[in-house]
Amino acid sequence: MTAAGGDGEVLFEFQRVGSYLRVTAIDAKTGVEVTVAGPATGSQELLKRTAINKLRFVQTKSADNRGASGGGPSGSGSGGGPAKPAPKGRGGLY
C-alpha cells in the first residue's frame, strides 16, 4: 500500500501479530524505515498517520545530526570537533 504526500511516496506493510497490528512505513526515495504497533482492532488509518509522523521525525532527526556533525566551526582546519564519549553502562571489550 502506498501513500503520496508532500514528502514523496511512502510504502506501508501491515502485519498482524497476535492481538496487535504492526505497521512498517518505508520512504520510497531514501529507504528509511520505521515501525509502529497498535491494537489489531484499532484504526489502520490512525496507525498509518502515526507511522508517517514517526518517519518524518526520524528523517528530520537524522538530517539534524548530519548537519551538526558535518563540518565543525568555520576556519578550524581539521573540522569534525571532539569525538562523543561512549555511553556509560554499556560494558566494553576485554
pLDDT tens, position by position, 2-61: 454 455 899 999 999 999 999 999 999 999 999 999 999 999 999 999 999 999 999 999
> For residue 79, is pLDDT > 70?
no
Give the pTM: 0.64
Residue 49: φ, ψ to 5°: -65, -40
Report the distance separating Cα 15 and Cα 87, nearest Å: 34
